[in-house]
């Protein structure tokens, strides 16, 4: 799998020597690096500020890289609608100015990231580019694959779980890893939701492609209650087209895919996803 968030910040750091002498770009890199350290109230405001700073840069491939990096981070948690929209506008403008050429007929990541913002963050984007249209088509095709996906995996206690055998229950499938900060941030909310709604037929399946010892060692002291499934080799990750984590999918009691999230969610956002499957707070 590619495009994991910790690697993103490493890539940004590597830009700094290239950007030497261009203080505004160096400043933007520094601001992006600190976004995760900000409070929930500060982060959207700072994200909008950084988006505006990127817009003011002259057209260049590096401008696209910075806008795309910001797009990866604006989907972490609930940052309202203004911040994601500002980032989408910035990325669309950057791509309009400096289109990214495809390699081996693959849609470049910035177009996919913009399409994900539009599809999953409820924003709009003005970009008249066939690669952007192709990115949306790819996401549509991926969802069609996920909607008919089935798998059997073992949990940390060697119990088998088969997705298709959970018909009649609301199933939340969450892809995560021990090294992923946004994954760790959302786990307490997933745990609380699962504990509260399990009696109403909610199943939360937390899937990792790491080895059993690493996952088990991480989970043991946390008291995390949802089943933690092991996906050695990442076959189920590939089945769900997972390219970055966390990712979350909700299936209703008929097994229909009804909600998708491409990053860390808050408890409120998880509950909104589950409401589309008919689960209501009591």
How confident is the model at residue 5, as a pLDDT?
A: 44
How confident is the model at residue 105, as a pLDDT?
A: 87
Query: What average pLDDT does range 36-58 have in this prediction?
Result: 95
Closest CA to 60 of 9, 116, 22, 117: 22
What are the residue ranges spanned by the domains of the chain?
Answer: 5-144, 152-275
What's the pLDDT tens digit per position in 218-254?
999 999 999 999 999 999 999 999 999 999 999 999 9
Domain 152-275 is of which CATH architecture? 3-Layer(aba) Sandwich (3.40)
Confidence (pTM): 0.87
């Amino acid at each position: 799998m590619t495009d994991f968030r910790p690697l993103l910040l490493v890539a940004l750091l590597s830009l700094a020597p290239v950007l030497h002498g261009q203080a505004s770009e160096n400043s933007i890199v520094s601001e992006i690096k600190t976004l995760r350290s900000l409070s929930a109230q500060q982060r959207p405001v700072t994200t909008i500020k950084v988006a505006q700073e990127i817009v003011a840069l002259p057209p260049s491939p590096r401008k696209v890289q910075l806008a795309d990096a910001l797009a990866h981070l604006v989907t972490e948690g609930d940052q309202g609608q203004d911040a994601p929209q500002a980032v989408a506008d910035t990325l669309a403008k950057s791509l309009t100015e400096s289109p990214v050429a495809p390699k081996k007929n693959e849609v470049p990541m910035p177009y996919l990231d913009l399409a994900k913002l539009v599809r999953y963050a409820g924003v709009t984007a003005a970009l008249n580019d066939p690669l952007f249209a192709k990115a949306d088509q790819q996401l549509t095709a991926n969802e069609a694959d996920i909607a008919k996906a089935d798998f059997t995996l073992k949990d940390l206690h060697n119990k088998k779980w088969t997705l298709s055998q959970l018909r009649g229950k609301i199933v939340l499938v969450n892809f995560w890893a021990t090294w992923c900060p946004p994954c760790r941030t959302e786990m307490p909310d997933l745990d609380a939701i699962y504990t509260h709604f399990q009696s109403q037929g909610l199943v939360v399946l937390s899937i990792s492609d790491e080895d059993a010892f690493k996952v088990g060692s991480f989970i043991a002291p946390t008291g995390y209650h949802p089943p933690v499934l092991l996906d050695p080799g990442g076959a189920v990750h590939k089945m769900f087209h997972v390219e970055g984590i966390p990712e979350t999918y909700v299936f209703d009691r008929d097994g229909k895919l009804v909600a998708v999230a491409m990053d860390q969610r808050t408890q409120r956002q998880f509950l909104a996803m589950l409401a589309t499957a008919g689960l209501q707070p009591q």
